[in-house]
Amino acid sequence: MKVLVAGGAGYIGSHVVFELIRDGHEVVVYDNLSTGRRSAVPEGVRFIEGDIRDLDATTRALAQGTSSGSFDVALHFAAKLVVPESVSNPLAYYHNNVEGLRTMLEAMVKTNVRTIVFSSTAAVYGEPDKSHNGECLEGDLTVPINPYGETKLAAEKMIQWVAQAHDMNYCILRYFNVAGADASLRIGLDKDQLTHLIPLIMQTALGLREKLQIYGNDYDTIDGTCVRDYIHVSDLARAHILGAKYILDNDRSVLCNLGSGQGFSVKQVVDAALKMFEFAYEYAPRRDGDPAKLIANNQRAQELLGWQPQLSLEQMLSSDFAYRQKISTSSHGEPA
């Protein structure tokens, strides 16, 4: 496939670029480097610095194609994704996640690139349907509880309407809790973006933080702490390639959850990490906006895309630790 990856210098985008290259595809990365890093783009991969909100620049990038022809598909990762930041600055989220996508879709229509793979999120569900015990199915109600989830839901709907009007196909992937780093340790989630549980555990294990705080132990769950579905970023990355192939081969669109299908409580994650590393933790009050349980039903991704998550929670913990150890010892906070 010939692929444009918008946001390909960021955490998830760069993992997808690595998997695409390993799988023999032709890739161009388009990124404004607002949170991504130039060094995350593998050598030999063409890089265009640009912003998806810039119609002319995005149209030019899409029109150029790869050295051997027009793009078959565009992958979209160029979004903001920190929930508390979206609450304090919703306008930035609408500008980036909604207006940015609108501009990119306009550029795609202009250049006749009619296939998009889009990263969405479990945050579109809001509080999961009570009758499913924390499990989310793609057909469930979507009632986001923060601006981040709202902008992603608006984006999903925009893609669906535009696809209908302009004869396009899409693969929308709703991510659950993504963690870990590529086995090469060349790329990972960087340290200034950290609000997520696993990187914070690893920073504590590395002595960069004194104690991990567990937010709330009075939820209606197995041990009172919140339950989430953790998925390794490399498993997630492979699903994008399968998703792109599925829509190109079948000339149809798809929307599916991407999670392991298994729930772990915060305490279970902490206990798994304590078997591997030493660190201190304490219980703290609940964090605003945290639903008690969020677990993916991943049947659709398994059946339609032929996707199976392969990497375990322990592999997410150990690879995140190794990456974080690597960046904490390099002078600029970047992997050597």
- Describe the crossing of helices 197-205 and 266-274 by its angle, rounded to 10 degrees: 30
For residue 86, state whether it binds ligand UDP (rule: CB under 6 A). Answer: no
Element spanning 49, H or E: strand 46-49
For residue 266, state whether it binds ligand UDP (rule: CB under 6 A). Answer: yes
Nearest in space to 64 (alpha carbons), one of 21, 111, 25: 111
For residue 5, state whether it binds ligand UDP (rule: CB under 6 A). Answer: no
Q: How buried is residue 140: exposed, middle or buried, by Cβ count under 10 Å (0-12/13-18/19+)?
A: middle
CA dihedral (159, 234, 190, 46) positive or negative: negative
Q: In this structure, what is the dihedral angle of CA atoms 174, 322, 308, 301, given to the nearest 10 degrees?
A: 10
Element spanning 55, H or E: helix 55-64
Instruction: Indicate the residue whose CB is closest to ligand UDP.
Output: 226
Between residues 182 and 229, which has the closer beta carbon with respect to ligand UDP?
A: 229
For residue 127, state whether it binds ligand UDP (rule: CB under 6 A). Answer: no
Give min distance, CB of 53 to ligand UDP, in A. 25
List Cβ neighbours of 214 (8 Å cut-off, separation of 6 or more).
225, 266, 267, 270, 281, 282, 283, 284
- The Cα–Cα gap between 141 and 162 comes to 22
Between residues 49 and 129, which has the closer beta carbon with respect to ligand UDP?
A: 129
- For strand 264-265 and strand 227-228, is the pairing parallel, antiparallel, or unpaired? antiparallel
Of 145, 200, 206, 322, which lies in the binding site for ligand UDP, with binding defined by CB under 6 A? 200
Give min distance, CB of 212 to ligand UDP, in A. 6
Place of tokens 């969020």: 294
Between residues 106 and 290, which has the closer beta carbon with respect to ligand UDP?
A: 290
Of 34, 88, 195, 325, which lies in the binding site for ligand UDP, with binding defined by CB under 6 A? 195
For residue 109, state whether it binds ligand UDP (rule: CB under 6 A). Answer: no
Please identify, among the stretches 54-62, 86-94, 137-145, 190-198, the one whose residues bind ligand UDP according to the rule CB under 6 A: 190-198
Tokens describing residue 164: 């209908």
- The Cα–Cα gap between 28 and 44 comes to 10
Of 28, 104, 162, 214, which lies in the binding site for ligand UDP, with binding defined by CB under 6 A? 214
Of 39, 213, 217, 262, which lies in the binding site for ligand UDP, with binding defined by CB under 6 A? 213
* Phi, psi values for residue 169, rounded to 5°: -120, 150
Site string for ligand UDP, 274-303 (x = CB under 6 A): -------------x--x-------------
Of 197, 205, 239, 311, which lies in the binding site for ligand UDP, with binding defined by CB under 6 A? 197
For residue 218, state whether it binds ligand UDP (rule: CB under 6 A). Answer: no
User: Is 170 designated active site?
Assistant: no
User: Which of these is catalytic: 30, 148, 219, 230?
Assistant: 148
Give min distance, CB of 245 to ligand UDP, in A. 28
User: Phi/psi zone of residue 52: left (φ > 0), alpha (ψ -120 to 50 degrees), beta?
Assistant: alpha
For residue 317, state whether it binds ligand UDP (rule: CB under 6 A). Answer: no
Of 3, 226, 239, 255, which lies in the binding site for ligand UDP, with binding defined by CB under 6 A? 226
Buried b (16+ CB within 10 A) or exposed e, 69-90: eebbbbbbbbbbbbbebbeeee
Of 196, 242, 312, 328, which lies in the binding site for ligand UDP, with binding defined by CB under 6 A? 196
Q: List interacting residues with ligand UDP (CB under 6 A).
A: 177, 195-197, 200, 212-215, 226, 228, 266, 287, 290
What residues are annotated to the active site?
148
